[in-house]
């Protein structure tokens, strides 16, 4: 694959990731910048907390779609065979760039979210079985603990194990990618870790009323 084509794909992936769904949805629907409320994070969880279920699900879907679109860009080219390890490697690179765009969006003053939904979307484009196992782990952890942050960190940390279980030793790059993403997610959740340790982390509940908008 030519370096120019990969560079172009990376630019497009970053632009896709930089679409600040939470900011734009909040301002378009309620004239509210979610970064000025709740945790100050421009992601789906804070949107649920501040603006309610309708806005939260919309942001979740859009953030997921950004990652899926980025990792699917290679389907538009004809140099690599879909489903091969090399194809997945390039998909992972583009997915990583989209996550970076989400965390540091050029369209929102580089103040973005933590990239979990975008990362899941990117991983679905690469391997839906790994993504499904991560999603199941996330749901179970959140269901038992009520902590979105804990579910995000643990599910991402389990992703290298899931890659190894599904692909064996044939997907070393994929496994290292997941390890890198797990470290990044833990880093972006460092404030949450402090609150978890002190017992002040907010628990998630669909029945909880949003801070600003009533559903």
pLDDT at residue 215 is higher than 60: no
CB-CB contact of 89 with 171 (8 Å): no
Question: Taking the CA atoms of the chain, what radius of gyration do you get in angstroms?
Answer: 17
The contacts found for 31-35 with CB under 8 angstroms, 24 or more apart, are 32/212, 32/213, 35/111
| Sequence-separated (6 or more) residues with CB below 8 Å from residue 194 | none
Query: Of 10-14, 67-71, 107-111, 207-211, which gets the smallest average pLDDT?
Result: 207-211
pLDDT at residue 1 is higher than 60: no
Residue 82: the pLDDT is 77
Q: Please choose, from the candidates 208, 209, 191, the residue with its C-alpha nearest in 3D space to the C-alpha of residue 40.
A: 191
CA 70 to chain centre: 12
CB-CB contact of 130 with 123 (8 Å): yes
Residue 212: the pLDDT is 72
From the number of C-beta atoms within 10 Å of its C-beta (0-12, 13-18, 19+), residue 65 rates as: middle
Joined together, the tokens standing for residue 139 give 């749901």
150 vs 3, higher pLDDT:
150
Residue 123: the pLDDT is 95
CA distance 132 to 64: 14
Name the region of 168 (left: φ>0; alpha: ψ -120 to 50; beta: rest): left
pLDDT at residue 12 is higher than 80: yes
Residue 202: the pLDDT is 87
CA distance 34 to 63: 15
The continuous run of DSSP H or E covering 125 comes out as helix 116-126
- Band of residue 213 on the pLDDT scale cut at 50, 70, 90: low
The answer, as to whether pTM is greater than 0.85, is yes
189 vs 204, higher pLDDT:
189
CA distance 181 to 98: 12
Residue 2: the pLDDT is 67
pLDDT at residue 104 is higher than 80: yes
140-192 tens-digit pLDDT: 999 999 999 999 999 999 999 999 999 988 889 999 999 999 999 999 999 99
55-95 tens-digit pLDDT: 999 999 999 999 999 999 988 777 777 778 888 899 999 99
Joined together, the tokens standing for residue 189 give 């959740």
From the number of C-beta atoms within 10 Å of its C-beta (0-12, 13-18, 19+), residue 171 rates as: buried
E strands, 81-126, in order: none
What average pLDDT does the structure give for the chain?
91
Joined together, the tokens standing for residue 100 give 């970076």
Share of the chain above pLDDT 90, in %: 77
206 vs 109, higher pLDDT:
109
């Amino acid at each position: 694959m030519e370096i120019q084509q990969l560079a172009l794909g990376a630019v497009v992936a970053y632009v896709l990731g930089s679409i600040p769904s939470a900011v734009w949805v909040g301002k378009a629907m309620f004239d509210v910048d979610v970064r000025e409320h709740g945790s100050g994070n421009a992601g789906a969880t804070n949107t649920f907390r501040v603006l309610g279920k309708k806005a939260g699900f919309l942001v979740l879907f859009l953030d997921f779609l950004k990652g899926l679109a980025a990792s699917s860009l290679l389907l538009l080219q004809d140099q690599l065979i879909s489903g091969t390890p090399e194809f997945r490697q390039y998909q992972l690179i583009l997915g990583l760039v989209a996550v970076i765009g989400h965390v540091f969006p050029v369209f929102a003053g580089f103040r973005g979210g933590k990239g979990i939904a975008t990362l899941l979307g990117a991983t679905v484009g690469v391997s839906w079985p790994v993504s499904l196992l991560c999603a199941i782990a996330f749901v179970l952890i959140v269901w038992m603990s009520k902590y979105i942050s804990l579910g995000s960190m643990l599910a991402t940390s389990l992703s290298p194990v899931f890659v190894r279980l599904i692909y064996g030793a044939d997907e070393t790059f994929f496994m290292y990618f997941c390890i890198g993403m797990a470290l990044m997610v833990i880093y972006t959740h460092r404030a949450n870790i402090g609150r978890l340790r002190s017992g002040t982390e907010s628990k998630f509940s669909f029945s909880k009323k949003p801070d600003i908008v009533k559903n």
